[in-house]
Structure 1
Amino acid sequence: MHNNHPLPTLSIITVTYNAEQVLETTLQSVISQTYHHIEYILIDGASKDRTLAIAEKYRDRIQLLISEPDGGLYDAMNKGIALATGEYVCFLNAGDSFHQDDTLQQMMQSIKGRELPDVLYGETALVDGKGHFLRMRRLSAPEVLTWKSFRQGMLVCHQAFIARRTLMQPYNLNYRYSADFDWCIRILKKAKTIHNTHLTLIDYLDEGMTTQNRKASLMERFRIMMHHYGLWSTVMHHAWFVFRLLTKPGQ
């Protein structure tokens, strides 16, 4: 299967809810890709704005479009995984886009001559609402990625983490903010081959999270780290975080 493997199909899943302001950017980014082995799935949570009208304009390029109420982001993502048929799955949030029109082609080119890896990953650029580059993501992708890498935090953005569908289990819905962190670690634990594309894969719309949600998200991430890496390792890697929690009661 080395040099002559057929080009793998990539299932791209976009989850939307009232995303009329940002969806078109994402749709155009997907349909303009020069790599054509794509299955595009759009899971909408019964939007009340013009999200579906916008999606309808591109209906012939969307293989699967579902709109129904769901239990939130990760529930919708689980639906997407269950419906995907591609060899690899990539989540692209509404508002986010591939870095260039040939990003997926470059990504697949980077594995030429090798066996198809279990996971591919790359860098993420932060952009504003007009798609202008702001800066690279604060945490950059490590040269070599293993399941232990995430002890440092989520070094690879969820959207720039592309894995074989057969390795995927559903997101754990007990986590409201950081289920993607836990999900990536679980996939990395099972992955045999993990490939660094050395490419910027994603332009991530930097909207910022509310401070309240950021705190809840950090707490959840801490719980996930304790589950996977144990208390001692987690505290050692994140002593500053524990200190902040203890010294800022009620914040």
Structure 2
Amino acid sequence: MAENDCLPKVSIVTPSYNQGKFIEKTIASVLSQRYLNIEYVVVDGLSTDETGSILERYQELIDTTIIEADQGQTDALNKGFKHCSGDIIAYLNSDDCYANSDVIATVVRYFNQHPNVDVLYGQRHWINEDGCFIRCDPYRPFSEQNFYLSDFIPQEGTFWRRSIFEKSGAYVDTEFEFAMDYELFLRFLKNGAKFLSVQEVLGLFRYYPSQKTTHLWHSKGLPEIAKLHHLYLGRQLEETEMINYNKEHFYGVNPGDFPEIFEFYQNLWHDVIVYRTNVLNHRPLDEWMFHMEGVHQIFSDRKAHKLLSK
């Protein structure tokens, strides 16, 4: 307990609305972290599904629960961030999960090893509605030049210091319903943030038909990203151009310029995906916390830590 108390506090916000099918796994992936000095805030916009009963079940372990009407995800995030007192801050959407029980400990270790780093992100595994592995991307170091062209940072595996958040205004821009994370990270960059990409898989990103990234991409996503490109690049990128820049970041080759070379590298990575699919899909990736040895002791320690922190 004392060891965790002297380590940085990590504040995590989960915005929630009618994600009863997934939110328990989201919550459990936070509460099952072996690193105890976590402040967890859940903001629910009056869900009408089973979310309420799930929140009640975990109430003793969640530091702050806000249940009231809001103006959408960005509004909910801003409400949650106002309750954060941690040295390191992040948010985890209510259909995503952390990848394992050591994610937060890993993040804190990297921040301690790199005191000049303001924003840290890891790798992501894409999972489907049932929690099964779909794909992942090759590891690449952060590239400021590429980031202005394409948002390749996995939000669910991204953490930042309070200092850069406050320097950048300490808010998420409510003008953005889709690309609010891209806007925030670009604002960090504008304010001099140093980014670090690490090789560990930190997040599980759920990709399915009714998910926002899928069904709002053309109606909300592209217009909002175009707005950001106008602001930071002075021009708008075509969708194909932006996707090609994204692929160039991960594969080192722009498919628009060198299609045959890109196809060669993509096929090599496809073999990696096939291998990982065979290895990882013996059970859903988003259920690790329910099969974890010692999770009840972690919950007990977390309750005690919460009481002592008051």
TM-score, normalised via structure 2 length: 0.68
- 2:77 and 2:174 map into 1 onto residues whose CA distance is 10
Residue 171 of structure 1: aligned partner: 172
SS state at 1:83 partner: coil
Letter in 2 for 1:85: S
8 Å CA contact 2:149, 2:229 repeated in 1: no
How far off is 1:202 after superposition? 0.2
Residue 143 of structure 1: aligned partner: 141
Residue 226 of structure 1: aligned partner: 230
Counting only pairs closer than 5 Å after superposition, residues 32-181 of structure 1 correspond to structure 2 as 32-115=32-115, 117-137=117-137, 142-146=140-144, 148-168=145-165, 169-181=170-182
Letter in 1 for 2:15: V
Residue 214 of structure 1: aligned partner: 217
Residue 13 of structure 1: aligned partner: 13
- 1:87 and 1:211 map into 2 onto residues whose CA distance is 33
How far off is 1:205 after superposition? 1.0
Q: 1:192 to 1:176 in 2, by over 3 A?
A: closer
Q: Of the two, which has the highest radius of gyration?
A: 2
How far off is 1:18 after superposition? 1.3
- 1:115 and 1:134 map into 2 onto residues whose CA distance is 34
Letter in 1 for 2:195: I
How far off is 1:211 after superposition? 6.7
- 2:164 and 2:143 map into 1 onto residues whose CA distance is 16
Range with bigger deviation, 211-220 or 66-75: 211-220
Aligned-residue CA RMSD (Å): 2.2
User: Unaligned stretches of 5+ in structure 1?
Assistant: 1-5, 243-251
How far off is 1:135 after superposition? 0.8
Letter in 2 for 1:56: E
Aligned residues: 230
Letter in 2 for 1:193: K
More strand by share: 1
- 2:60 and 2:204 map into 1 onto residues whose CA distance is 24
**What stretches of structure 1 move > 3 A for 4+ residues in a row?**
110-114, 208-212, 238-242
8 Å CA contact 1:142, 1:155 repeated in 2: no
Q: 1:193 to 1:240 in 2, by over 3 A?
A: closer
Q: What does the per-residue CA deviation read over 1:115-155, in whole Å, with 9 as the maximum and x for residues that have no partner?
A: 26311111111112332211115xx6640343x43223111
8 Å CA contact 1:119, 1:191 repeated in 2: no
- 1:107 and 1:176 map into 2 onto residues whose CA distance is 27
How far off is 1:239 after superposition? 7.4
User: Unaligned stretches of 5+ in structure 2?
Assistant: 1-5, 243-310
TM-score, normalised via structure 1 length: 0.83
Q: 1:214 to 1:193 in 2, by over 3 A?
A: closer
- 1:194 and 1:212 map into 2 onto residues whose CA distance is 30
Is 1:190 matched up with 2:191?
Answer: yes
8 Å CA contact 1:158, 1:184 repeated in 2: no
- 1:39 and 1:179 map into 2 onto residues whose CA distance is 22
8 Å CA contact 2:11, 2:85 repeated in 1: yes
Q: What does the per-residue CA deviation read over 1:28-55, in whole Å, with 9 as the maximum and x for residues that have no partner?
A: 1111111111000000001122212101
8 Å CA contact 1:99, 1:203 repeated in 2: yes
Q: 1:160 to 1:145 in 2, by over 3 A?
A: farther
SS state at 1:66 partner: strand
Q: 1:107 to 1:71 in 2, by over 3 A?
A: same
- 2:81 and 2:228 map into 1 onto residues whose CA distance is 21
How far off is 1:16 after superposition? 0.6
Q: 1:191 to 1:58 in 2, by over 3 A?
A: farther
Identical columns (%): 27
Range with bigger deviation, 185-194 or 38-47: 185-194
